[in-house]
Amino acid sequence: MSDASKPNLVTRLRNGLEVRLKEIHTAPLATCWVWYRVGSRNETPGTTGVSHWVEHMQFKGTPSFPAGVLDRAISRNGGVWNAFTWLDWTAYLETLPADRIKMALELEADRMQNSLFDVDEVESERTVIIAERQGHENEPTFRLAEEVQAASFRVHGYHHGVIGDMVDLQSMTRDDLFAHYRRHYVPSNAVLVVAGDFNTRRMLNQIREIFGPLPKAPAPQHMSRPEPLQSGERIVNVSGPGETHYLKIAYHAPAAKDDDFLPLTVLGSVLAGASSFNFFAGGISNKTSRLYRALVDGEVAASVQGGLAASIDPYLYNVHITVRPDRTPEQALAVLDQEMARIREAPIDEAELSKAIKQARALFAYSSESISNQGFWLGFSEMFADGSWYESYLDRLAEVTPKMAWEIAQKYLVDSNRVVGFYRPNSS
């Protein structure tokens, strides 16, 4: 791995804020990301969805910057901002012309401790978030994915989705949201990444000036309840409108830091095509993957996708199949089972391995090109591992052998380790 992936400076302020800086001078831009170590995994029944809702409230103003002021200011300065909540983390992003990036630092420091959580704003946002959830519910694939995820985790916080359960969205209070905010939005629970066209020393001084005065507070203790080993296949059925059958198969997968993760990444690429761990980077087609050939060329499915996520705790390797109208989901599952048996029975060949590695190299290059994406990687990898995970990713991937991948297939890609979900249209 070249030095291109390494930050120029990593340090920690006295209040515990971790700072990672990287100078990039290819465009007159800079990006600022603040990553908080909190996501839906940390939520409990009654307040599921609170992390995501707090993220929305972070756009509703502080005494210094009332609601509506900042989004105008960011736009006026030729920038973009956004935020994302996921299982393990919540991230805030601004990308601006480099000479305006101070604005992002100021607003992020401000909303790390001064957000208002006005009662009326909370109520107004409640209907917005319920509308967001209802928009998802319009999609059969969301409804299936939510049930499969719930069936996969009986104990662990990965049980529920980021959006949260409707009953909690209806009942959560302003105090629930504010308590979550005060507990998790502290410097010691955050990573600040700035990447782009600046001088590192001057940027660090600016960061010390703006974030340094934030008071030190203890990092929240995260309770983690490990998911017990699944001891038998689980089946979930969901029915609803439409004409199309979907099939979702979720295998429990290792955590990103686990030695098993990269061999499973290679297997995922061979089975259903390569995909990037960067949420904001495009992918490539998967028409030569084993599952595409068996299911789509085999005229059982209209499409197949696979996905593995880099997570703190063991999550899932998902396969999603859209069944052809002239076939049944049971036929699709039978074909998938044959392919899973094949990958357990014999090692992948060297050509498949080298293709997976070349694809990973290309996707990694694409996903590191823009300044915003560099900022993404520098913070993202900190959320579930540390910076070296990202820096050494391609080198470690190149060390995977067919034999290693074979052992991992036998360990993870077995029926007793999976949940099979069927979406069955009411019309069928």
Partner 1 sequence: MSKKAPLLPHLDIAALPGPDTIRREELPNGIVVLIRENFSSPSVVLSGYLLAGALANTADTAGLAFMTAIAMTRGTQTRSFEQIFEAIESIGASLSLYGGTHTTAFQGKALAEDLGLLLELLADVLQHPSFPKTEFERLRTQQLTALAIREQDTGARAQMAFNTLVYRDHPYGLSTNGYVETISELTTSDLRKFHREYFSASGLVITIVGGVEADKVLDLVSSTLGQWTTKKQRAMPDLPALKPLKKSRRVEVRLEGKAQSDLVIGTAGPSRYDEDYLAAAMGNSILGRFGMMGRIGEAVRISAGLAYYAYSAISGGPGPGPWQVVAGVNPKDENRAIEIVQKEIKRFTSRRVSEEELFENKASFIGRLPMQLESNEGVAGAISHMERYDLGLDYYQRYQNMIAAITRDQVLAAGKRFLDTERLAVAIAGPDGDGV
CB of 10 or CB of 98, closer to partner 1: 98
Shortest distance, position 13 Cβ to partner 1, whole Å: 28
Phi-psi region of 117 (alpha: psi -120 to 50; beta: other; left: phi over 0): left
The Cα 38–Cα 50 span in angstroms is 10
Q: Provide, rounded to whole angstroms, the least separation between the CB of residue 244 and partner 1.
A: 5
Name the minimum Å distance from CB 119 to partner 1: 13
How many residues are given for the chain? 428
We find the least distance from the C-beta atom of residue 257 to partner 1, in angstroms, to be: 25
Residue 396's φ and ψ, nearest 5 degrees, are -70, -35
Count CB neighbours of 423 within 10 A: 25
| Structural contact between residues 110 and 65, judged by C-beta atoms closer than 8 angstroms | yes
CB of 58 to partner 1, least distance (A): 13
Cβ-based nearer residue to partner 1, 318 or 359 = 359
Beta carbon of residue 303, minimum distance to partner 1 (angstroms, whole number)? 7
Contact 318, 417 (CB under 8 A): no
Closest CA to 60 of 133, 131, 126: 126
Decide whether 121 or 227 has the Cβ nearer to partner 1.
Answer: 121
Nearer to partner 1, 26 or 171 (CB): 26
In whole angstroms, the minimum distance from the beta carbon of 170 to partner 1 comes to: 13
CA distance 295 to 339: 10
Q: Give the nearer residue to partner 1 in terms of CB position, either 299 or 345.
A: 299
H or E element: which one contains 338?
Answer: helix 329-345
CB of 256 to partner 1, least distance (A): 21
State the burial class of residue 427 (Cβ atoms within 10 Å of its Cβ: 0-12, 13-18, 19+): exposed
- 8 A C-beta contact, residue 39 and residue 27: no
R_g (Cα) of the chain, nearest Å: 22
Nearer to partner 1, 295 or 336 (CB): 295
Backbone angles phi, psi at 352, to 5 degrees: -65, -40
Q: Which is nearer to partner 1, 310 or 357 (CB)?
A: 357
Nearer to partner 1, 81 or 412 (CB): 81
Torsion of Cα atoms, 356 then 358 then 364 then 366, to 10°: -120
